[in-house]
Amino acid sequence: MGRPRFACWIFFLLSTQDAMATMDVKVTPKRALVNPGDEISILCKMNTRLELCLFKFAGADGISLRSGRESDDVKYVGQGLDAGECGAHIQKVDEKHHGTINCSLGAESDGIIRVGTMHLVVAIPPTKPILKVSMGTEMESGAITYKESDQLTGTCTVRDGRPAANISWFLGEETITEGLQMPVETCMLQNKKELCTIQQNLTRTLQATDDKKVLRCVSSHYSFKDTPEEATYQI
């Protein structure tokens, strides 16, 4: 008696797990980074016919979607509710779309509403990089200059981006990879927007060949596309 009953329970649990797996909401993409004005499609899917497809954006009311329906610059995409697909195409992304996006799917089979989530980051460009460099130790013609073996320290700061910018260092045409501390990133709410500042320190022992070279702190960010910004200092 015990073994058949145990086997039945195992079969029941496995069947339940399989059923739950087929009813999971699959979301594509799970995370995306876009610029204001870009377009993006988000697809939520279950392996069953749907009777409800609802999208809720972080800064906007929920939108009910189905094939052929368009609302507030958001239109349905997918193969239809009968195919288990609930998709939204945002034709022009703006600030209200930033954050967690929920898609609520109602299965026709049991009427239960299941929720999938994705995170959309709407980029905000940071300020221009700021480069601060330590002074030299030698006086020459009334001015403080560097001498060989001096320790040069530099700090590059790029403020208020979303997400944080990336920092790269160059001396002349040479990429600097040594003497760099791990960048420090801090994020704060400003005017209801989470903006991130990144800062990195450099320490370099100067060589005679470094004379007159330009130290560059280069800031790259998604919103810049292929045009990074930089701050410079001639040694």
Domains of the chain: 26-122 (2.60.40.10), 127-234 (2.60.40.10)
Residues 6+ away with beta carbon under 8 Å from 145: 136, 138, 139
Q: Which backbone phi and psi does 82 adopt, to 5 degrees?
A: -65, -25
Could you tell me the pTM of the whole model? 0.81
Q: In this predicted structure, which of 83-97, 138-152, 167-181 has the lowest mean pLDDT?
A: 138-152
183-227, pLDDT tens digit by residue?
999 999 998 899 999 999 999 999 999 999 999 999 999 999 888
What is the pLDDT averaged over residues 129-150? Answer: 80
33-66, pLDDT tens digit by residue?
999 999 999 999 999 999 999 999 887 778 999 8
Per-residue pLDDT at 70 exceeds 80? no
